[in-house]
Structure 1
Amino acid sequence: MTKKIEIKVSLQVFPKSEWTAEDGDLITKAEQVLENAHAPYSNFLVGAALLLENGETFVANNQENVSFPVGVCAERAVLSYAMGNRPNVRPVKLAIVAKRRQDAQLATVTPCGLCRQTINEYEIKFGHPIEILMLNPAQEILKASGIDQLLPFRFNDLNS
């Protein structure tokens, strides 16, 4: 008999009037580094801000190079920097904002597959989900409670 494996995923949507101060601060920090992205090939700018359990916040943006699409996404850049400098401090929340260089309006973005797997690695390391905040053009935060909401069949889940 055929067996079906089904997983329910969801995101919460928060209008700006319902943002927490902590979420708003993290989104603002991600927006502040957005324009500094080095994206001369795609012209797609991404900013990220990571809150650690000790209250520290790190920021980064995407960094492309001439051998495009090789480069570093903002999410992986900020996680790598934070974990390289604070390897034993748990990441709590990750905020992501993005836009096309020529657009005034933000783009709705979620982490790419490689970034999703990277987030998963740190969730495994610390045994705790990382909240993911994604800002859309309507100034709403799309909030995932952990990477399982964006990557339900993660690489470490192949035998479950």
Structure 2
Amino acid sequence: MKEVKIETILQVYDNYDELPEDIAALMTQATEARSKAYSPYSNFSVGAAILLDNDEVITGSNQENASYPSGLCAERTAIYYAGSQYPDAKIIRMAVIAGSNVKHTMTPIPPCGACRQAIAEYEVKQNTPIEIYFMGETGKVVKSDSLANILPLIFDKSSL
């Protein structure tokens, strides 16, 4: 038997005001996208903004449905739109803001497992890391230099 240690290194900003200007601008676009979320069932709204290497910014928000599996998360809404409209563009970074509609959320909220898998697909496809910034409504902002930091044992095409 062999023991394997997996480490994750994340950068944590104390608040939105500490962010570099370009990241703050992307986070602002994620915040605007969050305001367009349709979340009457979970009362949890998420906004995502993606910067592509062609300088396009794609946004998405979660869209729920009474038939729960039919809804879609903000991150996947944005990443799939980017993939369909700009199939040759690389994703440079993603900003995500999430929180409850009924109470104040200060804890950074990372992408869910399904979104991590979708982001992994694009990171592997483009063979370059995707920076991910995530936060609650206010408070700390977490930066991951790559999806691999928050999903270290990915399932990708090499497993098929």
Greater Cα offset, 135-144 or 7-16: 135-144
**What is the rounded CA distance, in whole Å, between the counterparts of 1:30 and 1:10 in structure 2?**
23
Deviation (angstroms), 1:53:
0.7
**What is the rounded CA distance, in whole Å, between the counterparts of 2:4 and 2:107 in structure 1?**
32
Residue 95 in 1 paired to residue 95 in 2? yes
Deviations 1:108-158 (Å, cap 9, x if unpaired)? Answer: 211111100110100111000100000245533200011111101111398
TM-score by length of 1: 0.91
Does structure 2 conserve the Cα–Cα contact (< 8 Å) formed by 1:98 and 1:107? Answer: no
Deviation (angstroms), 1:91:
0.4
Paired residue for 1:152? 152
Residues 31-110 of structure 1 aligned to structure 2 (within 5 Å): 31-110=31-110
Does structure 2 conserve the Cα–Cα contact (< 8 Å) formed by 1:100 and 1:106? Answer: no
Consecutive unaligned residues in structure 2, runs of 5 or more: none
Consecutive unaligned residues in structure 1, runs of 5 or more: none
Deviations 1:52-87 (Å, cap 9, x if unpaired)? Answer: 011110111001101114310000000000110000
Deviation (angstroms), 1:99:
1.3
**What is the rounded CA distance, in whole Å, between the counterparts of 2:139 and 2:40 in structure 1?**
26
User: Cα distance 1:126–1:139, how it changes in 2: closer, same or farther (>3 A)?
Assistant: same
Greater Cα offset, 112-121 or 128-137: 128-137
Deviations 1:15-40 (Å, cap 9, x if unpaired)? Answer: 33431111000100000121210111
TM-score by length of 2: 0.91
- Number of aligned positions between the proteins: 158
RMSD, aligned CA: 1.8
**What is the rounded CA distance, in whole Å, between the counterparts of 2:4 and 2:158 in structure 1?**
12
User: Cα distance 1:17–1:66, how it changes in 2: closer, same or farther (>3 A)?
Assistant: closer
Greater Cα offset, 73-82 or 32-41: 32-41
Paired residue for 2:7? 8
Paired residue for 1:139? 139
Identical amino acids, percent of aligned pairs: 37
**What is the rounded CA distance, in whole Å, between the counterparts of 2:158 and 2:122 in structure 1?**
18
Greater Cα offset, 136-145 or 51-60: 136-145
